[in-house]
Structure 1
Amino acid sequence: MKKIAGSALGAVVVLGALSTAGAWYTGQQLPAVLETSIQQANEDMGKTMPALGLSATIELVSLERQLFSSNARYRIQFAGSLDGESPSNFEWFVTDRIEHGPFPLSRLQTLKLLPVMATSNYALERSPELEKWFAGSQGGAPLQGQVSLGYDRSLSGNLRVQPLQMALDEQTQIDFSGLEIDFDSSANVEKISASGVMDSFKVTSTLATDESMRLEFKGMNLTSNTRKGVSDFYLGQNEVRLQQIELQIGESAPILFKDFVQRDETSEANQQLSARYSYDIGMISYQGNDIGSSQMLWTVKNLDAAALQSMVELYGSLLQSGKVDSESGMPQLTDEQTAQFKTDLEKLLAGKPGMALEKLAFKTANGESSFSLALDLDKPVSFDLPAPELTKQLIAQLDAKLLVSKAMIGDVVGVQATIAGETDKEAIAQQATMLSEMASGMALASELAVLQGEDISSSLHYANDQVTFNGKQMTVDQFVALAMSSGGGLAGMGDDAPADDALLDESEGENTLQ
């Protein structure tokens, strides 16, 4: 028994000695580790923040080292504007209690037994500029979290934005349940994965019409899996899901957007970037009536990574130096910077970039309508060409297609009638059929559309200064003339067309909608 006790005591002594030695080692290495991490963070933010209209830098203000822990203080300086209208330069301070490894107490308390180099416990510091935010968070640090640094320089931790109730101004109030994000990254932040949850975020405001407005987001989940590519841009997938978005104006019934999903995916091949951005709404409802679902998909392709990176870095440097107009967002360039921007733009266009609204669709119970638009660009011989010739050389090709479902028109008319309180199903069906046929007739009479089965369709293709419109080839001038004459004819038809009330009055007896 004495031998067992002696062995256990010896193990504790050895473990304590190793922990003390590890803590001392961490304390010695900490300044260099922090400096490297801050430098890396500043480089990464310099490449990504300009896309948000901001620039930010982190600075280590102080570091007090002890044997088992250290206290650090950082300054984060921001410049730019998130809304494009309110330029500001402000700074936040963050306090950090750093527990030295290999076995920080906070990790042992949560049964995380793998050794780490250090664990950071950070929190936003109170200041006069942030007083309203702190007060709205019941006085605690509204932004805080914990990050552990592994001996392989990997990171794992969390970020917590505390619940918040506060008035932005006399008209606007925020009620926020809080946000929690867990994340992991490999050494040098080469790979990042994250997940987060939020229960609700509600904004109530008084509009200029003195009506109240309420916008509420409920049940958010986010996931992210990205890696740094050869071009230093982060590639991979991000997804945000919301169970419901609720919008209410005045005393009217709220509009509900259910099962909202936003996804983006970025990829890289042959030093060119491509991306996809999709937005889906599972169902739009009003007064208990399901109206339909919606989908939007954007894509970009063939973006020269080096040229894009150079343009982003230039914009970031201009933001930091206050050389970006707050109202227009346009940068103030020197002659040298103008030449650099022009070189980057030429390189970007030489890659033949393209952008497309691949699908904008609205689907009801019996039909789906959609619109698509794709634009491919090319490098012009010169940017000094007259505007018409420059446009002709910039646009390699353009494709557009509109498809309107007659059945969808009928569904929408039926829902409108139901919301208005109509109960005669036969009369509602007749009205829906009549209005969908009228829309079809007007579109066909204008020569801007054709009938494709039970859908009204219009298509346009442009390339090499030639237009193919609804299957017919013509010059650009001929197309413009057709569009103008058809538009005028359609407007005239609209003047002569009977009003909806007159059309409805033609229905007899019980089939007339009052």
Structure 2
Amino acid sequence: MKKSAGIAVGVIVALGALGTAGAWYTGKQLPATLEASIKQANDEMAKALPALGVNASIELLSLDRELFSSNARYRIKFSGPQDGELPSNLEWVVNDRIEHGPFPLSRLKAFKLMPVMASSNYALEQSPELEKWFAATKGVSPLNGQVSLGYDRSVSGTLELEPLQLPLDESTNLDFSGLTLDIDSSADGRDVSGRGQMDSLKVTSSLGDAPMSIEFQDLSLDSDLSKGSSEFYLGSNEVRLKAIALSLGSDNKPLLLKDVVQRDETSENGNFLAARYSYDVGMISYDGRDIGSSQMVWSLKNLDGKALQSMIALYGELMQADWQYQKTSSATGMPELSAEQEAKLKADLEQLLAGKPGLALEKLAFKTANGESSFKLALDIGKPASLDLPAPELAKQLISQFDAKLVVSRPMIGDVVSAQAAISGETDQEAIADQAQMMTEMASGMLLATELATLQGNDIVSSLHYANDQVDFNGKKMTVEEFVGMALAMGGGLGGGLGAPALDDEAPMLDEQLPEEGEASAGDTEQQ
């Protein structure tokens, strides 16, 4: 028994010695580690932020070292153009209590037993610029968190924005439930993942006779990214909202968007990038009545990564020059490109076009209980012989291929008309059904009469394909010049009204729908 107790005491002493030695080692390594981390962060922000219209940098103000912990203070500077609403320069000071590894006490309390080099516990420091923000959180630091640094220099941690209630002006208020974001990163920041959660964010306004409120409910964030050879982050991001509730006016009838999801995926194949962006709304509801769902999907392909990086860097340079220009000149607008910048931009654009990039709206759809209408288009771009060609020839060489298709569901038209009638207060179901049928037939007749569309089952369809200077419009092949002439003629026919001469064969049917014209044509009927 005594022997077992002695072993236990020995283990505890050994662990204590290990912890003390590790803490001493961490304390010795900490200054160099912090400087390296700050330099890396500043380098990354210098590359990415100017193109977004802002600059930011981090500076270590002080570092007080002890055996088991250290206290650091950082200054974060933000700068950007003076736009009259936001300050052009902003500074935050962050206090950081750094627990030395290998076993920081705060991690042991949370049952996190994996050894780490250090654990950082940071929070914003109060300042006159942040006075309102601190007041809204009742004196608690509105931004705080914890970050652990592994011995392989990987990083994992949590960022928290505290709940707050804040008046934005005399008539507008913000109510925020707070947000928690968990982040993991590899040593060089090439692999990054994040998970976030927010219960609600609500803005209300009581200005004049038109009160307004908008609320975002139950938000979640999910991100997994890795840097590719092009230095762009590849992978996926997803943002989910259970609902977006919008209320306008004194009648307090809410517009509700349910199950809102935004996703983006970026990939790389050799030197070329591809991306896909989707936006889904599970249900659109007004005043308690479900109307329909919607979806939009965009995609990009064959984007030359090196050319794109170079163009982004040039744009960042121009933004920087614009800020300086605003400070030293009363003139407005971007400063002119230098000859060197023009040549660089032209070379980057030619390299980008040589990759034959493409843009597509894969789907823009609205779906109701009885039908779905959609629109899609795809544009493939090529490299012209010269960017200095006349505009018509340049456009012809730039557009390698173009496709577009519109599908309008006749039952969906009726659903929308019925919903609109019900929302406006109509209660006679038979009258609603008659109105929906009439509007469906009217819309269908007008589109089909102009030959802008064809009828395929219950769908009104219009399609356009262009390639090699040839157009296929609703199955009819023609040259570009013939298509332009036809479009102009159709436009003239539409502008002339329903009784346009170009639609003689349809005129009797349309006249019957209009009493005035029906009476005027009575004599013609007798002559027939």
Give 2:451's aligned residue: 447
Once the 2 structures are TM-superposed, how far is the Cα of residue 480 of structure 1 from its aligned partner? Answer: 2.4
Q: Deviations over 1:235-260 (max 9, x none)?
A: 11111111110011012300000011
C-alpha separation in 2, matches of 1:137 and 1:495: 67
The letter of the residue matching 2:222 is T
Give 1:186's aligned residue: 186
C-alpha separation in 1, matches of 2:84 and 2:22: 49
Give 2:417's aligned residue: 413
C-alpha separation in 2, matches of 1:477 and 1:324: 48
Distance 1:381 1:6, change over 3 A: same
Q: Name the stretch that deviates more: 134-143 or 52-61.
A: 52-61
The letter of the residue matching 2:239 is V
C-alpha separation in 1, matches of 2:399 and 2:83: 31
Q: Tell me, what secondary structure is at the counterpart of 2:497?
A: helix
The yes-or-no answer on 1:432 pairing with 2:432 is no
Q: Name the stretch that deviates more: 47-56 or 111-120.
A: 47-56
Q: Name the stretch that deviates more: 450-459 or 96-105.
A: 450-459
Distance 1:83 1:210, change over 3 A: farther
Distance 1:105 1:404, change over 3 A: same
Aligned with 1:359 (options 348, 360, 363): 363
Once the 2 structures are TM-superposed, how far is the Cα of residue 4 of structure 1 from its aligned partner? Answer: 3.4
Counterpart contact for 2:321–2:335, Cα < 8 Å: no
The letter of the residue matching 2:223 is S
C-alpha separation in 1, matches of 2:335 and 2:295: 34
Counterpart contact for 1:214–1:249, Cα < 8 Å: yes
The letter of the residue matching 1:420 is S
Q: Tell me, what secondary structure is at the counterpart of 2:49?
A: helix
Once the 2 structures are TM-superposed, how far is the Cα of residue 99 of structure 1 from its aligned partner? Answer: 0.9
**Equivalent residues in 2 for 1:347-426, closer than 5 Å:** 347-426=351-430
Counterpart contact for 1:137–1:163, Cα < 8 Å: yes
TM-score (norm 1): 0.91
Q: Give 5+ residue unaligned stretches, structure 1.
A: 504-514
Q: Deviations over 1:366-413 (max 9, x none)?
A: 010011121122222222222222222222222111111111000011
The yes-or-no answer on 1:106 pairing with 2:106 is yes
Task: Give % identity.
Answer: 66
Once the 2 structures are TM-superposed, how far is the Cα of residue 25 of structure 1 from its aligned partner? Answer: 0.8
Q: Deviations over 1:15-43 (max 9, x none)?
A: 22211111111111112212222222233
Distance 1:499 1:45, change over 3 A: farther
Q: Deviations over 1:27-73 (max 9, x none)?
A: 11112212222222233334443454333222223222222111222
Q: Deviations over 1:419-447 (max 9, x none)?
A: 22223222222211111111011011222
Counterpart contact for 1:324–1:331, Cα < 8 Å: no
Q: Deviations over 1:69-89 (max 9, x none)?
A: 112222222233699986733
TM-score (norm 2): 0.89
The yes-or-no answer on 1:213 pairing with 2:212 is yes
**Equivalent residues in 2 for 1:63-462, closer than 5 Å:** 63-80=63-80, 88-205=88-205, 210-252=209-251, 253-323=253-323, 332-462=336-466
Count of matched residue pairs: 502
C-alpha separation in 2, matches of 1:191 and 1:328: 41
Distance 1:206 1:113, change over 3 A: same
Q: Tell me, what secondary structure is at the counterpart of 2:383?
A: coil
Distance 1:277 1:187, change over 3 A: same
Q: Deviations over 1:208-265 (max 9, x none)?
A: x741211110011111111111112111111111111001101230000001111110
Once the 2 structures are TM-superposed, how far is the Cα of residue 200 of structure 1 from its aligned partner? Answer: 0.3
**CA RMSD after TM alignment:** 2.7
Once the 2 structures are TM-superposed, how far is the Cα of residue 321 of structure 1 from its aligned partner? Answer: 5.0
Give 1:510's aligned residue: none
Give 2:5's aligned residue: 5
Distance 1:306 1:205, change over 3 A: same
Distance 1:136 1:49, change over 3 A: same
Q: Name the stretch that deviates more: 245-254 or 463-472.
A: 463-472
Counterpart contact for 1:27–1:100, Cα < 8 Å: yes
Q: Tell me, what secondary structure is at the counterpart of 1:188?
A: coil
Counterpart contact for 2:407–2:459, Cα < 8 Å: yes
Counterpart contact for 1:79–1:319, Cα < 8 Å: no
Once the 2 structures are TM-superposed, how far is the Cα of residue 499 of structure 1 from its aligned partner? Answer: 13
C-alpha separation in 2, matches of 1:286 and 1:465: 46
Distance 1:343 1:499, change over 3 A: farther
C-alpha separation in 2, matches of 1:238 and 1:424: 47
Distance 1:261 1:251, change over 3 A: same
Distance 1:247 1:65, change over 3 A: same
Q: Name the stretch that deviates more: 426-435 or 312-321.
A: 312-321
Aligned with 2:476 (options 458, 472, 479): 472
Distance 1:368 1:330, change over 3 A: farther
C-alpha separation in 1, matches of 2:138 and 2:307: 47
Counterpart contact for 1:160–1:179, Cα < 8 Å: yes
Once the 2 structures are TM-superposed, how far is the Cα of residue 106 of structure 1 from its aligned partner? Answer: 0.6
The letter of the residue matching 1:490 is L
Q: Tell me, what secondary structure is at the counterpart of 1:17?
A: helix
C-alpha separation in 2, matches of 1:363 and 1:324: 50
Q: Deviations over 1:317-352 (max 9, x none)?
A: 443454498999957533322222222111111111
Counterpart contact for 2:50–2:320, Cα < 8 Å: no
Once the 2 structures are TM-superposed, how far is the Cα of residue 288 of structure 1 from its aligned partner? Answer: 1.6
Counterpart contact for 2:78–2:91, Cα < 8 Å: yes
Q: Deviations over 1:452-486 (max 9, x none)?
A: 22111111122233322112222333222322321
Q: Tell me, what secondary structure is at the counterpart of 2:296?
A: strand
The letter of the residue matching 2:164 is L
Query: Larger C-alpha radius of gyration, 1 or 2?
Result: 2
Give 1:512's aligned residue: none
Distance 1:94 1:411, change over 3 A: same
Distance 1:321 1:158, change over 3 A: farther
Distance 1:69 1:331, change over 3 A: farther
Counterpart contact for 2:470–2:477, Cα < 8 Å: yes
Q: Tell me, what secondary structure is at the counterpart of 2:120?
A: strand
Distance 1:117 1:329, change over 3 A: farther
Q: Give 5+ residue unaligned stretches, structure 2.
A: 501-509, 517-528
C-alpha separation in 2, matches of 1:32 and 1:251: 61
The letter of the residue matching 1:418 is A
Counterpart contact for 1:201–1:216, Cα < 8 Å: yes
Counterpart contact for 1:53–1:82, Cα < 8 Å: no
Counterpart contact for 1:298–1:359, Cα < 8 Å: yes
C-alpha separation in 2, matches of 1:268 and 1:254: 43
Q: Name the stretch that deviates more: 472-481 or 234-243.
A: 472-481
The letter of the residue matching 1:223 is D
Q: Tell me, what secondary structure is at the counterpart of 1:447?
A: coil
